[in-house]
Structure 1
Amino acid sequence: MRLTDSQRQIIQRIVAQELGQKASVKLFGSRLDDTARGGDIDLFIELAEPVKHPAQLSARLSVRIMRALHGRKVDVLLSAPNLSEQTIHKVAREQGVRL
């Protein structure tokens, strides 16, 4: 996993502030490959409760985390009971590593 302990803590803190301690956060995508270089940070966040404005929430989380990580690009994929699932959700759920 190509995230420092500090980066993991920052991500966890921001997600907890926005969504509470019950939100599950996983890293997936190219940042799991320790031999690779560069790449954005792909986060999969699972919620037990429905989300009213998922696009706004995803964008807000992405911007807050990007700012805290000094501009590193962050993509946020949400999963909640009221959101439709796509193939990328399955991949992130199965291959992602919990922070």
Structure 2
Amino acid sequence: MRLSEEQANAIREVVSEEAGADARIRLFGSRVHDERRGGDVDLLVILDSDVSNAAWLAARLEARISRALEGRSVDVVLEAPSLRRSA
């Protein structure tokens, strides 16, 4: 995993503040592979409760995490009971 402990802690803190302490976070994409270089930070945020405005939550998470990671590009995908999955 190509995130420092400080970066991982910053991500956890922001997600907890914005989505709740029960939110689970999964890193995916190129940053999972130690041998790759560059790339944005792709995160899956899993929520057990419904989300009323998913686009707003995802945008806030992306912006705050990007700032915490000194401008690194961040993409957030949300998973929650109220969000429909597409095939």
Indicate the residue corresponding to 2:15 in structure 1. Answer: 15
2:5 maps to 1:5: yes
**Is 2:38 the partner of 1:57?**
no
The Cα shift of 1:7 comes to 0.2
Q: Distance in 1 between matches of 2:58 and 2:19?
A: 11
Q: What secondary structure is seen at the aligned counterpart in 2 of 1:44?
A: strand
After TM superposition, list the pairs within 5 Å mapping 1:26-41 onto structure 2.
26-41=26-41
Gaps of 5+ in 1: 88-99
Q: Percent identity?
A: 48
In the TM superposition, what is the alpha-carbon distance from 1:19 to its structure 2 partner?
A: 1.5
Residue 86 (structure 1) shift: 3.3
Question: What's the RMSD between the two structures over aligned residues?
Answer: 0.8
Distance 1:31 1:82 in 2: 28
Deviation at 1:48, TM superposition (A): 0.5
Query: For residue 39 of structure 2, what is the amino acid of its counterpart?
Result: G
Shift of 1:85: 1.4
Equivalenced residues, count: 87
Shift of 1:84: 1.2
- Where 1:77 maps in the other structure, the secondary structure is strand
- SS at 2:8's partner residue? helix
- CA-to-aligned-CA distance 1:23-78 (integer Å, 9 cap, x gap): 00010011011000000000000001110000111000000000111100000000
TM-score, with length taken from structure 1: 0.85
Distance 1:11 1:62 in 2: 10
Greater helix content: 1
